[in-house]
Chain A
Amino acid sequence: MKELSDLVELIKQGEVAESIETVKRIIDDIAVEQIIGVMTKAMRELGERFEKKEVFIPELLVASDVISELMPLLEPYIRKRNMQRKTVVIGTVEGDIHEIGKNIVSIVLKAEGYNVIDLGTDVGIDTFLAAASKQEASIIGLSTLMTTTMHVQQDLIEELVAQGGRDSFFVIIGGAPVSRKWAERIGADAYCDDAFSTAALLNSLS
């Protein structure tokens, strides 16, 4: 279907209006999974170019804008087909309002078909845990860009342990000052460099 291949390019170029128009035109004629497949393909192709340093954050953001605008159009169709999706609760930890990296992870995971509950920035531990429990999430993603707020990732894991709920969640951490070594030190399940490696890792768990 030509519209689907066009849509891949429209998403990659960040063309919001044309993408919405295209999806509205075809949504009743094809399975919603195909459109999610297109979003996945577009973001994976951008991810490959991001890995090679051919595209950067501005290009990812404008493409992410398209995914954000398309998701509300797709949601009723997703519900109708009763698609099984893993739920990810994600946010930037308390004290930190950096959001670009977290937003891109959020969008890429949505494009991969995950049910993503994005709690935003400056999110307290209680808010993370309450949302993860209420939404029956299996994955918690904790982002921070600052050395000064890294400890909140540790605090949340310690709180999970204290509450006896550590085994209920796969806790993944990310952010510029964070490393695999830090993940091991604080008892996180995984550390990822970027949105695309996060998606690849979570997909490998399925």
Chain B
Amino acid sequence: MTSYQRVMTALGGGKPDRVPVMVFNRDWTVNHLGFSASDMLGNAERFVFAQYYCARSFGYDVVQDAHGINAESEAMGCRLTYTEDFQLKLDNNPVKDLDNDLADLEIADPHKDGRLPLLLNQTSRLKELSGSELVVNSYVQAPFRHAAMLRGNDIYRDIIRNREKLYELLEITLANQVVYATALVHAGADVIAVSDPTSSGDVVSPGQWLEIGHRYVKELVRYIKKTGAKVYLHICGDTSDRLDTFATLGIDGISLDEKVDLERARKTLGDKMCIIGNVGTTNMLVNRPEEIAEESLMCIEKAGGNGSFILCTGCGISKDCPPDNIAAMVKTASAHHY
């Protein structure tokens, strides 16, 4: 099987030739090649080269666009600043007044606004290079996450104090994400990752998740699935108390943070939901390759015994992660044949 076939089989709920493997390694690949943050955020070709080169040389199965930079929110009025040390910051929340600022909020044009054209270009170039060999995985924020970037932390107060207006904002961010995700698929994305850390079980209640995050992820997924792309959701933090709700989102896979026990996730979600995870990101930074191999094996044993599984890190790894730890993940997955 090619990497593409392997990952798509797992996302389809099937059993590939061996365990597929991916790594959330945006900064790491750039740093590994000796490039800078401005290369990543301003030069599609360098970022693409870093992603493609690392996937080829380490042997994992997926390349990604510059995920997690909140580019949609930047394109709608936030300000992204960064240092060459990969310290990315998004500030200037444009929806300061939820009651009055929504009228001025315009949906972004993915081909014109902010860094969205750069990300479309990254996706398109990654697809050109990868062809049918590697999976191209592009990233969109969940509508709630995007709204939180536009609104700032007050969004958590809005949940209690101004729910109706919050829904109005979420309708706007949903509309934006539908347009952007579709553009990414047209640019060549095979898989769309939807990220909603704002819906973490460490942050909002199961009820708030169902009424807000879940409701809008489900809508977004419904649209993305019409394009034919596969979709998975990532939520940072502990989501053990809402695992069952992932089955009703229409997603092909769920990427789980290291705080979630994969055995419990598998039992809750059944055999057909592709589980993606969840080697600890801090462990990737500080542990030895033997320990990472052991942890990877444990992930596989808990959730990947019967396919429908992609070995992955629980979230984004540090740019300083030892390369041998990535190699250890790949080696462990590659040795696990079905």
User: Looking at the complex, which one of B27, B156, B160 makes contact with A148 (CB distance below 8 Å)?
Assistant: B27
B167 CB to closest chain A CB (Å) equals 15
Interface size class of B (residues with CB under 8 A): 20 to 34
Write the B148-169 contact mask toward A (1 if CB under 8 angstroms, else 0).
0000010011011100000000
User: Looking at the complex, which one of A58, A94, A96, A97 makes contact with B160 (CB distance below 8 Å)?
Assistant: A58
Interface residues of A (CB under 8 A from B): 14, 53, 55-59, 61-62, 65, 94-97, 99-100, 103, 122, 147-151, 176-179, 181-182, 185
A30-B205 Cα distance, complex, nearest whole Å: 37
Indicate whether B107 reaches chain A with its CB closer than 8 angstroms.
no
User: Looking at the complex, which one of A57, A122, A182 makes contact with B203 (CB distance below 8 Å)?
Assistant: A57
Q: Is the CB of B236 within 8 A of A185?
A: no
B285 / chain A contacts, CB cutoff of 8 Å: 147, 150
A204-B58 Cα distance, complex, nearest whole Å: 48
Q: Name the 8 nearest CB pairs between A and B, nearest first.
A: A95-B87, A58-B156, A58-B159, A147-B318, A56-B205, A57-B203, A147-B281, A97-B89
B27 / chain A contacts, CB cutoff of 8 Å: 148
A65-B157 Cα distance, complex, nearest whole Å: 10
A62 / chain B contacts, CB cutoff of 8 Å: 157, 160-161
Indicate whether B317 reaches chain A with its CB closer than 8 angstroms.
yes
CB-CB under 8 A for A177 and B282, given A61-B157, A147-B315, A148-B27: yes
Chain B minimum-CB-distance residue to A149: B87
Q: Is the CB of B282 within 8 A of A58?
A: no
Of B87, B159, B241, B286, most buried by chain A (CB within 10 Å of CB) is: B87
Q: Is the CB of A61 within 8 A of B156?
A: yes
Q: Which B72-128 residues have C-beta < 8 A from chain A?
A: 83, 85-91
Can you name 30 A-B residue pairings with CB atoms under 8 Å?
A53-B201, A53-B241, A56-B204, A56-B208, A57-B204, A58-B156, A61-B157, A62-B160, A65-B157, A94-B87, A95-B87, A96-B87, A97-B90, A97-B91, A100-B153, A100-B156, A100-B203, A147-B281, A147-B282, A147-B285, A147-B315, A147-B317, A148-B86, A151-B318, A176-B236, A177-B281, A177-B315, A181-B286, A182-B282, A185-B286
